[in-house]
Amino acid sequence: MTDLLLRLELSAFLDHYTNIIDSDRLEEWPTLFTEECLYEIIPRENEDAGLPAPVMYCDNNRMLRDRVLSLRHANIYEKPAYRHFVSGLEFEIVDETTYAVHANYMVVNTSQAGESAVYQAGRYADEVVRTADGLRFRSKRVIYDTLRVQTLLAYPI
């Protein structure tokens, strides 16, 4: 039963993460990561080939906060209208407070013309740790299948 409840807790944490992005509360996004952390978005082809070439790469929390600031002050990007859908969560217990978590994600985006379509699909490969403040990502790797997604990749997924 412990594992089932842990699964539920991890699922709630991922749901909270995606809601922060979808409701444009980006300032809260870095608060879900530990101070030392990794966040990267990487195409699946590179991941499979072992070639590191992320399209977004942040290796500490300050870089995450900088990313948000720059998104807020640079108006060069059309603000996306994302809806995240997460499915297929699985995890392994690495140690007492560390979990390796995997899940499929899909982002549906609605264009300014009002059309909704699959914008991006892929999988999350995360390391989640239990801290005094609750669950946090020590590492979140967003590995995407979709190749034609470059324009909006300034935003977190």
Closest to a second copy by CB, 1 vs 76, is 1
Distance CA 139, CA 121 (A): 19
Q: How far is the CB of 138 from a second copy (least distance, A)?
A: 22
Distance CA 37, CA 47 (A): 19
Q: How far is the CB of 53 from a second copy (least distance, A)?
A: 15
Closest to a second copy by CB, 111 vs 131, is 111
Closest to a second copy by CB, 61 vs 101, is 101
Q: Which residues bind a second copy (CB under 8 A)?
A: 1, 4-5, 7-9, 12, 15-16, 18-19, 22, 44, 81, 83-90, 102, 104, 106, 108, 110, 113-118, 120-123, 145-148
3-class secondary structure per residue, 7-56: HHHHHHHHHHHHHHHHCCCHHHHHHHEEEEEEEEEEEHHHHHHCCCCCCE
Q: How far is the CB of 90 from a second copy (least distance, A)?
A: 6
Q: How far is the CB of 119 from a second copy (least distance, A)?
A: 8
Task: For tokens 């499929």, name the residue.
Answer: 104
User: Cβ of 11: how many Cβ atoms within 10 Å?
Assistant: 15
